């Protein structure tokens, strides 16, 4: 079970802050702390579906921080710089902010500093891969779900182990799964990349609607894909955050 969610303001290096939700297990902190996970949202922002991902991790014994990437300054300014970084597919100011959030998570008294991970979806999946390329201290593994690949010249050799999920019917990312697998293999990075049969985009996080009511095509939850993917993701991340002698 998880404790009540906590709204926090995470300090960033230049004096700005980023709003986030922290979800933690209920009960006494184990010796050495819980593992931590940074949950990076889609382009739709900090939705209930993404917060629920953090709650699921907390129920499994993790401290999850779910930041609102669009809150580190004016919303328009955040949107502009996020779109630019998505288009560039290179680490930039948004990744710098996410590194700061990951480091803040690891510095918590209830988190094991050397046992943090990151998981992202769509935009967040792309950012999770870019975050991994920066090899921040304490980051043991990355879960990237239907995210764009970094530019070809982004060095992936320092990435921690990566687990990635793509949809076979995702036209926006056709061939992305095999391409990422080739790049990670060439970089010598431990990885598990799965292309889920019959799934399109956003198959792990539910249906998305523009303005709250207009369905967006190709963004539907797929039960069979989700039921295969989630055990893979949890197993991979839990293996790589296990206490080591």
pLDDT tens for the chain, residues 1 to 245:
788 899 999 999 899 999 999 999 999 999 999 999 999 999 888 988 899 999 999 999 999 999 999 999 999 999 999 999 999 999 999 999 999 999 999 999 999 999 999 999 999 999 999 999 999 999 999 999 999 999 999 999 999 999 999 999 999 999 999 999 999 999 999 999 999 999 988 889 865 544 444 445 555 678 899 999 999 999 999 999 996 54
Q: Per the structure block, which two tokens stand in for 105?
A: 């998570």
Domain contains 13: yes
180: domain CATH number is: 3.40.50.1820
Decide if 1 is inside a domain: no
pTM recorded for the entire structure: 0.93
Residue 189: give the domain boundaries.
Answer: 6-240
Listing DSSP states for 64-109 in one string gives EEEE-GGGSS-HHHHHHHHHHHHHHTS--HHHHHHHHHHHHHHTST
Please indicate, yes or no, if residue 245 is contained in any of the structural domains.
no
Compute how many other C-beta atoms are within 10 angstroms of the C-beta atom of residue 83: 13
Instruction: Give the chain's domain count.
Output: 1
């Amino acid at each position: 079970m998880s404790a009540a969610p906590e709204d926090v303001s995470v300090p960033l290096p230049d004096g700005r802050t980023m709003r986030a939700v922290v979800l933690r297990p209920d009960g006494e902190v184990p010796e050495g702390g819980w593992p931590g996970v940074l949950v990076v949202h889609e382009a739709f922002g900090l939705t209930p579906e993404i917060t629920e991902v953090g709650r699921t991790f907390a129920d499994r014994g993790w401290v999850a921080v779910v930041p609102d990437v669009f809150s580190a300054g004016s919303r328009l300014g955040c949107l502009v710089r996020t779109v630019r970084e998505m288009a560039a597919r290179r680490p930039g100011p948004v990744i710098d902010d996410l590194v700061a959030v990951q480091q803040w998570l690891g510095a918590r008294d209830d988190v094991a500093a050397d046992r943090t991970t990151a998981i992202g979806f769509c935009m967040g999946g792309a950012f999770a891969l870019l975050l991994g390329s920066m090899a921040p201290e304490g980051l043991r593994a990355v879960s990237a779900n239907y995210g764009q690949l970094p530019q070809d010249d982004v060095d992936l050799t320092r990435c921690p182990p990566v687990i990635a999920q793509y949809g076979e019917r995702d036209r926006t990312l056709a061939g992305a799964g095999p391409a990422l697998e080739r790049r990670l293999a060439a970089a010598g990075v431990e990885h598990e990349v799965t292309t889920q049969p019959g799934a399109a985009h956003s198959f792990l996080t539910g249906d998305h609607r523009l303005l709250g009511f207009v369905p967006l095509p190709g963004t539907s939850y797929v039960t069979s894909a989700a039921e295969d993917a989630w055990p893979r993701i949890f197993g991979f991340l839990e293996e790589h955050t296990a206490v080591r002698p």
